[in-house]
């Protein structure tokens, strides 16, 4: 199963995580283990973990195929960038 990860620097990573969870809570059954971690199950064979690490948000995305993985990364990027307000986020996926 393809996996991709990124560490995205942000001066307000906790707010980004809260906003993302609030935005998608009506669509997905989000699991918040703490204020610094959330898991969002986008589909049966696709999901993402988000972890606040001081000045960054670490993202781990899993999808059952490579094309779907790239699409899901794009969806996550566009949402986080929109929620970042005046901050430009840089995503370097591994």
Domains and CATH numbers, the chain: 3-83 (3.30.310.50)
Average pLDDT value over all residues in the chain:
95
Tell me the whole-structure pTM to 2 decimals.
0.94
CB 64 within 8 A of CB 1: yes
**3-state class (DSSP) for residue 44:** coil
Unique residue bearing structure tokens 């204020």: 35
> Is a pLDDT exceeding 90 seen at residue 59?
yes
**What are the tens digits of pLDDT across the range 15-28?**
999 999 999 999 99
SS3 category, 60:
strand
pLDDT of 1 over the 90 cut:
no
């Amino acid at each position: 199963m393809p996996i991709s990860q990124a560490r995205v620097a942000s001066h307000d990573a906790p707010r980004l995580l809260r906003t993302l969870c609030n935005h998608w809570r009506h669509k997905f059954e989000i699991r918040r283990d703490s204020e610094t971690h959330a898991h969002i199950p986008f589909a049966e064979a696709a999901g993402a973990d988000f972890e606040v690490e001081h000045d960054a948000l670490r993202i781990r995305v899993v999808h059952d195929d490579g094309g779907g993985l790239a699409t899901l990364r794009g969806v996550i990027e566009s949402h986080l960038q929109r929620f970042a307000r005046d901050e430009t986020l840089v995503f370097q996926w591994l």
